[in-house]
Chains A and B, each alone.
Chain A
Amino acid sequence: MHHANHYYGHSHVLARWCGLDPRRPPRIRGYLQHGWNIGDGMAGDHSYVPGVPTLVWSERTRRRAWALGRHDTYVVGAPWAYLLRMSPEPDAPREGTIWYPFHGWEGQRVVGDHARLVDEIRATEPGPVTVCLYWQEFQSPRLRRRYERAGFRVVCHGYRGGRYRDLDPDFLDRQLAEQRRHARVASNRLSSAVLYGALAGCEPAVYGDPMVLENEDPSLGGQDRIRREWPELHGPRPDPAAARAVAAAELGADRLLPPAELRRILGWPDEYQETYVDDAALPGIRR
């Protein structure tokens, strides 16, 4: 229903799980959580419509959402966890660390000392480092060069998409392929990417200056609370088993719904939706 359901190709992944054509997933009957947070799982700047359920990743988020006043909330698990179930682990060695510097989203800006962060990464990481930037930052040659000069490989997983445009159905596939090449995943803030990595078999770590988001709202406790509530994932070398258990719980990996069941929850298939037409077959295309 909401355009954010298509972010990162989430609806595409779920369509694949449900056995539907993933090229154009039907509207979801509900708002799907699209990133991990310490609130109700949803983005604060979206408008919500009464009676449209909120579909969150984990039981913990559901309980918290309830306590924050969002009651029409149900657990479906994270699309990432579904993707992992559908993508067998390749038989290839893992090496080095994939590092996600904290980033802002569309229209947001992060204030922090990237040079100091680079030093800290070099001092901590034992192997080669791949830095993954958000697309906005990846487009800044200056920022890219800063990490490249430190000897890091710099990648970007793709676009998030927005308002039904610039959708990137392969975003999570690229992210998974990248993470599975690495032995570690790290960031200066606990985020979806770190939880994703932990679930995908990387040893997670959260360290370094968490930086500040311009106009960041700390009303839910901010970074202090995150460190207190999720200590299992913080530090340069957290216990991987404990961290993975936390990641599985936060991503609802223990709560995935079988395809038939998920189809019912999402209201799929959309009985009005017509068969997807390839570009070449679009009406009006001259061959």
Chain B
Amino acid sequence: MNPRLIGGEMPVWTDRDPVRGAALVPLLAAAARGRVLVAGPHDPALLDALPPADLTLLVRGLPDARRLAERYPDATVCCGDLAKLAAEPPFDTVVALDGLGRLSSAEAEPPPWAEAFALLLGALRPGGTLLLGVENMVGTHRLIAFAPDPATAGWSPADTHDPGRPAGLDRLRAHLTAAGLGTPAVYAAWPSPAAPEVLLGEAACADDDLRGWATAALARACRTTAPALTDPARLAVDALRHGAAAHLAPAWIVTARRGDTGADTDVAAVAGAEVVRRRDGHWWRHRAGGAERVPAGRTLTEVVTAAVLRRDLPAVREALGAWQDSTAAGVHADQIVVDRAGTLTALAAPGDPVLALHALAADLLGGGLPLPWPGPLDEAGLTRLLAAMTGRDVDPPTGTPRRTGPLTVRELTAERDRLARELADARAQAAWRERALTERETALDQAWRLVALLSDTGPARAGRALLGGFKAARGTARAVVRRLR
């Protein structure tokens, strides 16, 4: 019978937001061997990547189980609590990318993390492979989040205060090793535990050669317009730059083999492509159609931002000029890698160069950086200035700026402060201009009167009369003097 009700099943429950993401597919495909158990809610696109013959799926909600049974008639679909799965013979591969939080049923006391982990591990035979997702309780996704709505927190929201849950990446590794999983490979996953789009192995997080590529991938994956405390893309890229990417990732994806002592972490993945460091020390990108060398370097946005902060305008000019003179002119600067020789490699398809400049301007302004150009500068104004630095005169979109980034508290506060400052400045300048105008008007008035008096034309009749009177008096006086002589 499919689905099999193993106990603890929840008749009207559905787990929303199953873990998903094309970046997970290569890991899944590489790990799945023999009898495979997939525990917890997983997106069908991930399940499709698995051989259906020896596949067992475990979910706790009956509607979910029925849907799966319909979609995968050859798989064994179990519905119920993980604890009830103990009777099953062990599996060669156990997949729990959604984590351990949604494996227990409402019918039982929710197990602490370590207990759930032990139960899951119990389903794995010696030498088998575990693929596990672990949410980072201080991942960037949590650092930027507003307070959650208590009403929707579920019936077991105590994860963050579970003393047995490995605290941080190092303790997670130690926990896995102590459980007999050798040296696990841990991939830092962005932008969220439920939908990772970028996976970075340990070496991928640390190797400067891959930084440009990884930065571009993070900028792309974390781009969002959802409200947040601060821009997740900026935070993720900062974390990568400062060597904290592995520790601040929203989730870790672990692949580990029972009894194995070695793991390959020289891997990074995004949707549709996997990047691997070969023995030659270089990173190669594998995708359908072949492999290509990943350019080593930094993104153009990073190069420009660093030069802007150093106030090195010649360097900014050079970087912008090289970009706008190249075929990558229409590619967003955060999707271009600049290698040490200054060669640009575009990681995305080109669009309109003006919009690409506009995006860079928005990025520079949104970062709240001290810019080396006098303000007040809006996105259109800075776009024109950046274009002028390349010798171009462009006409960017004006009017109400289109919000390209997220609506964040940090950016909103900065914007409010900027507007308040600009208003105060504008008032002071208006007062100064009033004074200057009055001064200049007075000077002009006096100059005109003088011109009229001296030119003997125009409307200065009163002045002429004055001069005329003076001349007449002088004439009379002279006549009197002549007669007296």
Contact = CB atoms under 8 A, between A and B. Distances in A.
Interface of A: 29-30, 49-53, 55, 59, 62, 72, 74-75, 254-255, 257-258, 260-261, 263-265, 284
Interface string B365-394: 000000011111000000011001101110
B314 A255 contact: yes
B314 A55 contact: no
B311 A62 contact: yes
A29 B374 contact: yes
A264 B385 contact: yes
B229 interface: no
B457 interface: yes
Contacts, number: 60
B161 to A, nearest CB: 45
Contacts of B311: 59, 62, 75
Given A75-B311, A260-B391, A55 B374 contact: yes
A51 B391 contact: no
Given A30-B374, A72-B374, A255-B314, A261 B389 contact: yes
Contact of B429 (A49, A62, A74, A265): A49
Interface string B417-452: 000011011101100100000000000000000010
Contacts of A264: 384-385, 388
B137 interface: no
Nearest to A257: B313
A53 B313 contact: no
A261 B426 contact: no
B413 interface: no
Contacts of B384: 264
A50 B384 CA distance: 24
A50 B428 CA distance: 6
A254 B314 contact: yes
Given A52-B429, A265-B374, 7 more contacts: A30-B374, A50-B425, A52-B432, A75-B311, A75-B372, A254-B314, A284-B458
Nearest to B431: A49
B338 to A, nearest CB: 22
Interface string B299-318: 00000000000010110010
Contact of A75 (B313, B392, B422): B313
B388 A53 contact: no
Q: What 8 A-B pairs come out closest when comparing CB atoms?
A: A51-B425, A53-B374, A260-B388, A49-B432, A50-B428, A261-B388, A264-B385, A50-B425
Interface residues of B, number: 28
* Residue among A30, A51, A75, A261 with the highest chain B CB neighbour number at 10 A: A51
B428 A51 contact: yes
B455 interface: yes
A230 to B, nearest CB: 21
A258 B393 CA distance: 13
Interface of B: 311, 313-314, 317, 372-376, 384-385, 388-389, 391-393, 421-422, 424-426, 428-429, 432, 451, 455, 457-458
A72 B418 CA distance: 13
B252 to A, nearest CB: 43
A284 B374 CA distance: 41
A263 B392 CA distance: 12
17 contacts: A49-B425, A49-B432, A51-B376, A51-B421, A51-B422, A51-B426, A53-B374, A72-B374, A75-B311, A254-B314, A261-B317, A261-B389, A263-B388, A265-B373, A284-B455, A284-B457, A284-B458
Nearest to B424: A50
A199 B209 CA distance: 42
Nearest to A66: B370
Nearest to B436: A1
Contact of A261 (B374, B385, B458): B385
Contacts of B428: 49-51
B450 to A, nearest CB: 13
A264 B424 CA distance: 23
Contacts of B426: 51
A282 B425 CA distance: 37
Contacts of B373: 74, 265
B246 to A, nearest CB: 37
A86 to B, nearest CB: 18
A49 B426 CA distance: 10
Contacts of B432: 49, 52
Nearest to A71: B370
A254 B375 CA distance: 23
A62 B392 CA distance: 27
Nearest to A52: B429
A62 B371 CA distance: 13
Contacts of B458: 284
B374 A74 contact: yes
Contacts of B457: 284
Contacts of B317: 258, 261
Nearest to B393: A260
